[in-house]
Amino acid sequence: MTAEKSTTILMKWAEDMVKKNKERIQGWSVSSVDNTTYQVHDFKSGGIVNLREKTCSCRYWQLTGLSCGHVIMILTHLKIDHCGHMAIDAYKIETYRRTYEQAIYPLSKLSDWEVPDDLMVINPPVMEIR
């Protein structure tokens, strides 16, 4: 499916990741701490989620930019079906559309490129294996 025909909020691969996280939440429960903070009881260490700050104690949400199972459980508890809006903009289909809405022109042949005379070649540092 191409981005222009997509009806989802997130790119397909991101939707698949969220779907996989959603499958794991069966049997979990939620306790409200305040209007934006919740504690999710899973079968491990649980998670404390702050929806305003977009943080979860498992750190999956902060590290990946996608909703973890704890966030999905809270949204389910709040009767919010879709959690795509909780992802970072980089994974949203609208961001993808805006990125590629302008024409992208192909480069000419490599032999036609103008290469500066004072071009420096910088090699990566030598790494020693310990």
The predicted structure's pLDDT at residue 115: 85
Q: How many domains does the chain have?
A: 1
Q: Is residue 25 in some structural domain?
A: yes
Q: Is residue 52 in some structural domain?
A: yes
Question: In this predicted model, what pLDDT tens digit does every residue of 38-69 receive, in sequence order?
Answer: 999 998 888 999 999 999 999 999 999 999 99
3 pLDDT more than 90: no
Q: What percent of the chain has pLDDT over 90?
A: 68
Please give, one letter per residue, the 3-state secondary structure of the chain.
CCHHHCCCCECHHHHHHHHHHHHCCCCCEEEECCCCEEEEECCCCCEEEECCCCEECCCHHHHHCCCCHHHHHHHHHCCCCCCHHHCCHHHEHHHHHHHCCCCCCCCCCHHHCCCCCCCCCCCCCCCCCC
Q: Which residue range is the domain that position 63 belongs to?
A: 3-99
The predicted structure's pLDDT at residue 8: 84
Q: Is residue 53 in some structural domain?
A: yes
Q: Is residue 120 in some structural domain?
A: no
Q: Is residue 38 in some structural domain?
A: yes
Task: Tell me the two tokens of residue 43.
Answer: 């079968």
Question: In this predicted model, what pLDDT tens digit does every residue of 13-41 receive, in sequence order?
Answer: 999 999 999 999 999 999 999 999 999 99
Q: Is residue 80 in some structural domain?
A: yes
Q: Indicate the average pLDDT of the chain.
A: 91
Look at 6 and 107; give whichever has higher pLDDT. Answer: 107
Instruction: Give the pLDDT band of residue 6 (cuts 50, 70, 90).
Output: low
1 pLDDT more than 60: no
